[in-house]
Every structure is written in structure tokens, then in C-alpha cells.
């Protein structure tokens, strides 16, 4: 696996030499096809696609960096970064990144933020903002505000719809299980109950210890202190 | 309808007010006006009669056919009217609203692979063929296929992918046209269906399990149990006449190998190189393009990308096979003889006008009969 083996890319030439030297009687099946469609050039480096302006004394103009692929930057990258910095929880919403024919982007019209067949997401804000910048000539921040507020209004609408739908469903008898708060309270109660049991045993143990302490040591003191008194306890202990 | 009984059926309420014209019309089965007038007259007569006999109605012999009023209704044709109204409603409103379409069929690319002409850059991008590996893992030999860097990975140029894919499709088509044996190899998990489909379309062989090392270089030993069949120009099997040829056959070797994961199949590609067999391979940014004859720079980790590439090559093979069979039907004997010179697995027999072609069929792992699989 080490080194370069150029044999695969030279199958036609090899077959040609074999035929010329009459090592094989007839050409292989692929001979004409591959002779007419030779493999492309490999291993050579070309000037990579230039995605940004390079200064004259830029580091990537060094001969060693000249053939390195360059980072791809788009105009909306900065907008996207800003939006998700401000709304990090938008990243937690599930999204579909699958496309059938790859033409979904061509079916969008960003003169309005809502698109047919595409759910509202942070990307809607970014694209809408970009459209406002490019078509209405708004400055970046103003376009951001416009797109963002449209987005907020739609999210609010969705939230209200969802809540009303839930209320209607519950009114007609739907049951959605316990709420988060109820589950939390249940867990907390469980811990308290456990603590109560544990505390009871602890108190009992402490009481026992204290009683034992009082029964052992003070009685000995008591015996030593008042040895003239008739005492039954040592007898009982023994 | 017997109008004489109306008075008795409907009792006093019907007799209290004179019957309206419309009521009478509704009772008649005929709507002619002179008849209605006649009926009107007869009803008036009956009214008079009934008034006269109202007191002693029980003495009338008509009472013997008296039917007491009941709640049972006339048999209604509600089903018919409901059906008609439903039809009318459907006709008026059926085209309103949205139609629910099937959004995504996961194996659409396997069931109906795209043709080489259908390959667009959008399709390639949607099938994730542009995603390479991390920039630190790259093989600098692939620099010319790389478009740029994004989020730490190399992005493969879609134009390069499309160009190389079209070229590979032409090669597959040409080899299939000349009757070559094409082997499709994809040994990663999940690549099986696409590989089998491609092999079936191009009437080739497929391998989706491990390549047994030496199947080409030591094929006489490893494929010893496999048998071979002889087919004529129309791919119909010939059972007799070639026994001596079949008896001393050598293990078949593919004429073209399509490998969608070259990284795992280095040994196979090396064997192909040793035997001077051309190969087509999907080269990711971390693979070595010198391992294969025709590299297709694309993402070999995406099953959708593999489905697109294998499907396109399979369609190309299908086209080549179709053209070959058509040519076998239409071309003259001389043309066939010329074509025979470019065919490899030919049993040259004097006096035969049509060249026969030996085609591999084996019970071994990689040369399974395609039709048994699916």
C-alpha cells in the first residue's frame, strides 16, 4: 500500500504492449472502450477554487499554501452565527435536513418569512434577513429586527395554537399524563418520604445510644459514688 | 290512487278545510290539468257525500276497508338521495384543498435509479456526495477534486463528481455493450441493495460481503466449485456442443470492477491491477486515487451517494446491454464476425455464424446469479 502504483491507470497501455508483443492473442473486451475514453488526469495539483479576496502579501500566497483548498464563506454565515448566538435554544428544535432532489432552496420565496412545506426555523430568519438586505437595502441590524420580530410573532402564534389545541383536547377528554411540575413534586415527595423513614431509624438509633450511655456509665458512677446504698443493678447486669 | 278513501284515511283534519290544489297535485300520479280539474270535481262530490254521511259513517260499507293511520312511513329512498348528494358534493368540492403527497421514500434511489442523463449537481448535493473527510485526514492526491473547506471538512467539487461519474458511466456502458463481465463491489453495511440492483440492471455480478483474497489471482483454486454456462448472442443458454470447452475452463475474471468502497477492498483492487483489469472506484478525500483506473470523487460514507452512483452505473450497464442485444438482432453475420473479434469470451468454432459467448455463472460468493438474489 506504500508508494504510488500507477498500474491501474495504465491498463490500456499495458494491454497495448501485451498485444504488440503478442502475449495475448486478442484484445480484452474493454480495449476499444477504454481506448476511446481514457482515464482522467490524477495526482496533479491545480489552483484551488478561490473563495475570498487575497491580499498581495497574504500568507496563503506562500508557495507552500498556494495549492491548499480554501475555506468556503457565504454571506449568511455571519448572520446565522449571530442569530444562533442570540437564540441558542433554536438549535434544540428538531429539523429535517433531508432533501429529495436538492431543489428545495429554489422553491423558497423569502419576500415573506413563511414558506410552503418548510417549517419555521432559525434558518428562516437568516434567509429572510438576507433577502431584506439584498432586496430592500436595509442595513444588517434593521433587517435582523424585521426578520426576528416576524419570527417571534409566528412562534407566539404557534404556541397559542398549541395551547388552545391542548385545552380543547383536554376538554373533550384527552389525558396527557402528569405535567412536569407534578412529576417533580412526586419525585420530591418520594425523597421526603424516604428521608422520613431514614430519619426515624436514625432517631431511634440515637435514642438507643443515649439510653445505653445513660444506662452503662452513670450507673457505674452511681455505684462508685453511693456504694453504701444497696444496689441491685450490678447483680442484674451480671 | 283511490281518492274515495282520502277522507276516511285522513279523517276530520283533512276534511275540515277544502283541499288545496297543490295537495291534490301531489297526490296524483299524473299532472295534466284537465285531469286535476276532474279530480277536483270528484273530491268536491266526495266532500258533499262525506258531509252527508258524516253522522252515520259506521253504517257505510267503506269502513270495512278502513286502514287505521300508523306511524310507519312510506319507504324512503334516502340512500339514493344521500348518494346523489354525496356525488354532487364531491363533484363540486373534490378538487378543493391540498393533496397529500408522499414526501420521502427512503429506497426510491434503489428502486428507480437515475440515468446518467438525470444526474444534476442538485441531486448530487442532496445525496451528500460533496461531504469529504476532516481536513486532517485528507490525501493530498485528491487536491484537484476538492472545492474548499467548510466546518473542518473538505468539500468535494460537485462538478468533478458529475464529470467523473459520467465518464465512468460511459465506460460501463461500453464494456456492457461489448459483452464484458462487470463486477459491482460494495462491502459496507447497507450498500447491498444498491449494489445488487446495479448488478441486476447491467447483468453483471455483485459482491456485498467479504472479498476472498485470491479470487482473481488464484481463482482456479478458490472458484473451483463454480460452474460456467455458455450463452449465445441473445443470452440464451446453450446446453450442448461446448462440453469440451466447459470442461477445461479457467476461472472467470471480471472485465470491469466497480468498487464503491476502495478503502476496504485494497486487496481486490491490487489483484485487478495485477491482472490488468480496469476498475472504477468512489474516491473520498482520504482515499488514494491511484488504486483505481477511473476515480469518482464522492462521499463513500453516505448510502444515498452510493445509491446514486451505483444506480447511475447500473443504468449505464443496462443501456449497454440493451444496445448489445439490439445489435445482435439487427447486425449481419459479417458485423457479428467483426464484433466477435472484440469479444473476449468467445468460443471460436469454424462454421458458426454467430459468435457464442461464455458467461460466468457460479455458486461462489461473488459470482452469484443475480436473479436468485432479489
Q: How far apart are CA B184 and CA B175, in angstroms?
A: 13
Q: How far apart are CA B83 and CA B43, in angstroms?
A: 38
Within 10 A of B61 (CB to CB), how many other CB atoms are there? 6
Q: What is the pLDDT of residue B62?
A: 52
Q: Which residues of A touch B135 (CB under 8 A)?
A: 69
Q: How far apart are CA B203 and CA B320, in angstroms?
A: 10
Q: How far apart are CA A214 and CA A217, in angstroms?
A: 6
Q: How far apart are CA A149 and CA A143, in angstroms?
A: 10
Mean pLDDT of B330-358: 46
Q: What are phi and psi of A60, to 5 degrees?
A: -75, 0
* Cα torsion angle, A82, A85, A88, A92, sign: positive
Q: Which residues of B touch A33 (CB under 8 A)?
A: 170-171, 174-175, 177-178
First-to-last C-alpha distance (Å) of chain B: 73
CA A72 to chain centre: 22
* Residue B351, pLDDT above cutoff 50: no
Nearest CA to B258 out of B349, B362, B181 is that of B181
- The nearest CA of chain A is from the CA of B15 a distance in Å of 53
pLDDT band at B346 (very low <50, low <70, confident <90, very high): very low
* Residue B355, pLDDT above cutoff 50: no
* Residue B96, pLDDT above cutoff 90: no
For residue B53, CA distances in Å to B2, B10, B60, B176, B223 come to 19, 16, 8, 106, 114
The residue behind cell 434567509 is A127
Q: How far apart are CA B74 and CA B190, in angstroms?
A: 68
Mean pLDDT of B167-194: 95
Within 10 A of A49 (CB to CB), how many other CB atoms are there? 14
For residue B196, CA distances in Å to B190, B208, B303 come to 11, 8, 14
Q: Which residues of A touch B175 (CB under 8 A)?
A: 29-30, 33
Q: What is the pLDDT of residue A141?
A: 96
Q: Going edge to edge, which strands form the sheet with B256-259?
A: B205-207, B182-185, B256-259, B279-283, B294-297
H or E element: which one contains A73?
none
Measured at the CA of A232, the angle between CA A226 and CA A236, to 5 degrees, comes to 130
Classify residue B337 by burial, with Cβ atoms within 10 Å: 0-12, 13-18, 19+. Answer: middle
The reply to whether residue A102 touches residue B291, judged by beta carbons under 8 angstroms, is: no
Q: What is the pLDDT of residue B359?
A: 42
Q: What is the pLDDT of residue A126?
A: 96
* Cα torsion angle, A30, A33, A35, A41, sign: negative
The 3-class secondary structure across A74-109, one letter per residue, is: CHHHHHHHHHHHHCHHHHHCCCCCCCCCCCHHHHCC
The reply to whether residue A48 touches residue B143, judged by beta carbons under 8 angstroms, is: yes
Residues with Cβ within 8 Å of residue A18, at least 6 apart in sequence: A24, B276
How is residue B338 written as a grid cell?
Answer: 467483426
- Whether A100 has its CB under 8 Å from any CB of chain B: the answer is yes
H or E element: which one contains A229?
none
Q: What is the pLDDT of residue B318?
A: 96
Query: For B75-90, how does the pLDDT look when each residue is reduced to its tens digit (9 = 90+)?
Result: 778 899 999 999 999 9
Residues with Cβ within 8 Å of residue B104, at least 6 apart in sequence: A98, A100
Percent of chain B past pLDDT 70, that is, above it, reads: 71
Q: What is the pLDDT of residue B371?
A: 38
Q: Would the ipTM clear 0.85, i.e. be above it?
A: no
Q: What is the pLDDT of residue B8?
A: 54
Q: What is the pLDDT of residue B11?
A: 53
Query: Smallest Cβ distance to B269: which of A8, A15, A28?
Result: A8
How is residue B231 written as a grid cell?
Answer: 450463452
Q: What is the pLDDT of residue B71?
A: 72
Q: What is the pLDDT of residue A58?
A: 73
Strand partners, B185: B207, B259
Q: What is the pLDDT of residue B227?
A: 81
Q: Which residues of B touch A23 (CB under 8 A)?
A: none
pLDDT band at B303 (very low <50, low <70, confident <90, very high): very high
Low-confidence ranges of chain A (pLDDT < 70): 1, 59-61, 216-238
* Residue B373, pLDDT above cutoff 50: no
> Which of A5, A6, A25, A42 to probe the B interface (max B CBs under 10 A)?
A42
* Residue B349, pLDDT above cutoff 80: no
Mean pLDDT of B272-295: 95
Residue A53 has what DSSP assignment?
-
For A106, name the nearest residue in chain B, comparing CA atoms only: B122
Nearest CA to B316 out of A228, A37, A115, A102 is that of A37
Q: What is the pLDDT of residue B53?
A: 59
Mean pLDDT of B342-347: 40
Q: Which residues of B touch A16 (CB under 8 A)?
A: none
The residue behind cell 491498463 is A11
CA B129 to chain centre: 24
Is this structure's pTM higher than 0.80? no
Q: How far apart are CA A162 and CA A141, in angstroms?
A: 31
Query: For B29-69, how does the pLDDT look when each residue is reduced to its tens digit (9 = 90+)?
Result: 544 556 657 667 776 777 666 666 555 555 555 555 666 67
Whether residue B169 contacts residue B333, with contact meaning beta carbons closer than 8 Å, is answered with no
Range list of H helices, chain A: 11-20, 31-36, 75-86, 122-131, 140-171, 180-225, 233-237
How is residue B185 written as a grid cell?
Answer: 463491489
Query: Smallest Cβ distance to A69: which of B104, B143, B295?
Result: B143
Q: What is the pLDDT of residue A182?
A: 95
The reply to whether residue A42 touches residue B266, judged by beta carbons under 8 angstroms, is: no
Mean pLDDT of B169-197: 95
- Whether B157 has its CB under 8 Å from any CB of chain A: the answer is yes
Q: What is the pLDDT of residue B242?
A: 84
Q: Which residues of B touch A51 (CB under 8 A)?
A: 148
Query: For B99-150, how does the pLDDT look when each residue is reduced to its tens digit (9 = 90+)?
Result: 887 778 888 999 999 999 999 999 999 999 999 999 999 999 999 999 999 9
Amino acid at each position: 500500500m506504500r508508494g504510488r502504483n500507477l498500474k491501474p491507470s495504465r491498463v490500456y497501455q499495458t494491454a497495448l504492449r501485451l498485444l504488440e508483443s503478442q502475449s495475448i492473442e486478442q484484445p480484452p473486451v474493454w480495449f476499444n472502450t477504454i481506448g476511446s475514453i481514457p482515464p482522467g488526469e490524477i495526482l496533479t495539483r491545480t489552483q484551488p477554487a478561490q473563495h475570498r479576496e487575497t491580499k498581495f502579501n497574504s500568507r496563503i500566497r506562500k508557495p507552500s499554501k498556494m495549492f491548499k483548498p480554501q475555506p468556503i464563506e457565504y454571506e449568511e454565515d455571519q448572520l446565522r452565527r449571530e442569530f444562533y448566538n442570540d437564540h441558542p435554544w433554536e438549535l434544540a428544535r428538531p429539523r429535517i435536513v433531508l432533501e429529495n432532489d436538492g431543489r428545495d432552496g429554489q422553491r423558497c420565496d423569502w419576500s415573506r418569512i413563511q414558506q410552503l412545506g418548510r417549517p419555521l426555523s432559525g434558518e428562516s430568519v437568516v434567509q429572510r434577513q438576507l433577502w431584506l438586505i439584498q432586496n430592500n437595502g436595509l442595513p444588517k441590524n434593521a433587517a435582523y429586527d424585521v426578520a426576528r420580530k416576524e419570527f417571534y410573532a409566528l412562534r407566539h402564534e404557534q404556541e397559542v395554537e398549541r395551547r388552545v389545541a391542548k385545552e380543547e383536547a383536554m376538554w373533550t377528554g384527552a389525558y396527557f399524563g402528569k405535567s412536569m411540575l407534578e412529576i417533580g413534586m412526586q419525585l420530591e415527595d418520594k425523597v421526603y418520604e424516604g428521608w422520613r423513614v431514614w430519619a426515624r431509624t436514625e432517631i431511634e438509633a440515637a435514642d438507643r445510644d443515649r439510653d445505653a450511655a445513660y444506662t452503662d456509665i452513670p450507673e457505674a458512677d452511681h455505684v462508685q459514688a453511693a456504694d453504701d446504698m444497696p444496689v441491685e443493678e450490678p447483680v442484674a447486669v451480671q | 290512487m283511490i281518492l274515495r278513501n282520502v277522507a276516511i284515511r285522513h279523517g276530520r283534519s283533512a276534511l275540515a278545510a277544502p283541499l288545496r290544489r297543490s295537495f291534490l297535485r301531489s297526490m296524483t300520479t299524473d299532472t295534466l290539468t284537465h285531469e286535476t280539474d276532474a279530480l277536483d270535481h270528484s273530491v268536491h262530490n266526495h266532500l258533499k257525500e262525506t258531509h252527508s254521511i258524516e253522522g252515520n259513517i259506521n253504517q257505510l260499507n267503506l269502513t270495512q276497508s278502513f286502514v287505521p293511520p300508523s306511524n310507519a312511513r312510506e319507504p324512503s329512498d334516502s340512500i339514493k338521495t344521500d348518494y346523489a348528494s354525496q356525488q354532487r358534493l364531491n363533484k363540486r368540492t373534490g378538487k378543493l384543498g391540498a393533496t397529500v403527497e408522499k414526501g420521502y421514500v427512503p429506497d426510491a434511489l434503489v428502486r428507480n435509479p437515475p440515468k446518467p442523463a438525470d444526474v444534476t449537481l442538485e441531486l448530487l448535493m442532496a445525496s451528500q456526495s460533496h461531504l469529504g473527510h476532516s481536513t486532517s485526514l485528507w490525501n493530498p492526491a485528491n487536491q484537484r477534486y476538492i472545492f474548499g473547506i467548510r466546518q473542518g471538512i473538505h468539500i468535494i467539487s460537485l462538478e468533478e463528481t458529475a464529470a467523473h461519474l459520467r465518464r465512468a458511466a460511459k465506460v460501463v456502458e461500453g464494456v456492457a455493450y461489448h459483452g464484458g463481465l462487470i463486477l459491482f463491489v460494495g462491502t459496507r453495511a447497507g450498500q447491498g441493495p444498491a449494489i445488487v440492483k446495479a448488478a441486476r440492471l447491467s447483468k453483471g455480478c455483485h459482491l456485498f460481503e467479504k472479498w476472498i483474497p485470491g479470487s482473481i489471482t488464484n481463482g482456479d483454486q478458490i472458484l473451483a466449485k463454480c460452474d460456467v454456462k455458455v450463452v449465445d448472442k441473445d443470452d440464451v443458454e446453450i446446453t450442448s456442443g461446448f462440453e469440451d470447452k466447459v470442461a477445461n475452463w479457467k476461472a472467470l475474471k471480471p472485465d470491469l470492477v466497480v468498487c464503491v468502497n476502495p478503502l476496504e477492498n485494497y486487496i481486490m483492487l491490487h489483484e485487478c491491477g495485477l491482472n490488468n483489469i480496469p476498475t472504477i472506484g468512489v474516491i473520498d478525500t482520504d482515499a488514494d486515487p491511484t488504486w483505481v483506473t477511473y476515480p469518482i470523487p464522492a462521499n463513500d460514507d453516505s448510502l444515498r451517494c452510493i445509491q446514486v452512483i451505483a444506480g447511475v452505473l447500473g443504468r449505464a450497464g443496462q443501456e449497454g446491454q440493451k444496445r448489445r442485444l439490439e445489435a445482435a438482432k439487427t447486425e449481419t453475420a459479417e458485423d457479428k464476425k467483426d464484433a466477435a473479434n472484440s469479444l473476449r469470451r468467445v468460443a471460436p468454432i469454424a462454421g458458426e455464424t454467430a459468435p457464442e459467448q461464455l458467461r460466468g455463472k457460479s455458486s461462489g460468493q461473488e459470482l452469484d446469479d443475480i436473479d436468485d438474489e432479489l
